[in-house]
Amino acid sequence: MKIIKFIPIITAVMSLLISGCGKKDTQQTATPKVAVQIAPVERTDITIERTYSGTLEGARQSQIYAVIPERVVEIPVSEGQYIKKGDPIIKLDKSGVNSRYNQAFAAYQHAKDNFEKMERLYQQQAISEMDYKSAKTAFEVADADFIAAKGAVELSSPIDGIVTDISVNLGQQAPMGVPIATVAATQKMRMTIYVVAAEINLLKVGQEAKVRIDSGDSVTARITELASSADPETRLFRVELEIDNPGGALKPGMFARAQIVIMHLHQVLAVDNNAVFFDEGISKVYIVQNDTAFARSIELGPGDGRRTQVLSGLEQGQMVVIRGKNNLRDRTPVTISGQEQ
């Protein structure tokens, strides 16, 4: 009978022991809190810029072509040299088989002497006006022919500028149909860039750009031309920029990068880029509520490298994790170690 009386007591003690063990196990398996840093989702202005690379050229360039296949006998200038309009760049053999220089010069000299003689006689009223005009016309024709023949062997610059290229050597026969020298006017420089179809309609003629060269110097440029059609091979659109260069610091051939604002978003909902991660191609963030991190899928718009526009999935004022997100899973308890405003 005594044993029966002790059974309820033993049962109660066992229940207490089991209950105590259960609490201990629960405490041991509780999920530890992860330290994170958070920042608010807020409205802000976002300026979208793109950087394009290219090579500087003179805004006005002139390419020199040989009109006769004759031997190069003199190159009186060098690449990088500043020259004036009319200065000779390349001289060809005047006595070559393809040159008409000597013949044209002889005809010019004869016509000139004859015209001067006829002009004196006409002033003395010793010849008719018709004879005088005939001599004058013959001289003008011979003069024009000599100028053309001289221009064929003495290739000169049609503009003031810098010699940017000479592609022939002494003794070489000047090829026809391809430029053998290039001169660039450098008071204004040109830069050609190429943009994708999604960006061409965001640019405007007259829009400013910041151009930076390798030395670190930056200058302001303007868009002067937008291509109306894409290159059939690259599917890119050509954009021309013009840069003032009064001091001549910019040189043809310099590599440069152009920064252009393609979009300005005013007071849009935005999230810190550090908060965004991707799960199977879906953009997500962790929002923090009641010391717990919840994974939230979001839709993003354009961004500036620091912040990105939020199209859906978040509301202004919500707090998102920007540090420590790699240690989180959905519904992970967190502790806030810092907060950006």
**pLDDT tens, position by position, 21-72:** 454 444 445 678 999 999 999 999 999 999 999 999 998 989 999 999 999 9
Angle at 15 between CA 14 and CA 21, to 5 degrees: 90
The pair phi, psi for residue 325, each rounded to 5°, is -65, -25
Closest by CA position to 224, among listed 208, 246, 202:
208
User: Mean pLDDT in the chain?
Assistant: 90
- Distance (Å, whole) CA 261 – CA 268: 17
Task: Work out the percent of the chain whose per-residue pLDDT is above 90.
Answer: 81
For residue 339, pLDDT beyond 60: no
pLDDT at 247: 83
Residue 2, pLDDT > 80, answer: no
pTM: 0.65
Strand ranges of the sheet holding 72-74, from the earlier edge strand across to the other edge: 72-74, 88-92, 154-156
Q: For residue 29, what pLDDT is reported?
A: 56
Residues, the chain, total? 341
Percent of the chain with pLDDT over 70: 90
Structural domains for the chain:
34-48+266-339 (2.40.420.20), 50-55+183-262 (2.40.30.170), 67-176 (no CATH)
Q: For 89-132, how does the pLDDT look when each residue is reduced to its tens digit (9 = 90+)? A: 999 999 988 889 999 999 999 999 999 999 999 999 999 999 99
Asked whether the beta carbons of 196 and 239 are under 8 A apart, the reply is no
CA dist., res. 212 & res. 51, Å (int) = 10
pLDDT reading at 10 higher than 50: no
Residue 146 region, left (φ>0) first, then alpha (ψ -120 to 50), else beta? alpha
pLDDT of residue 249: 87
* pLDDT given for residue 248 in this prediction: 84
**Closest Cα partner for 231 from 207, 200, 268?**
200
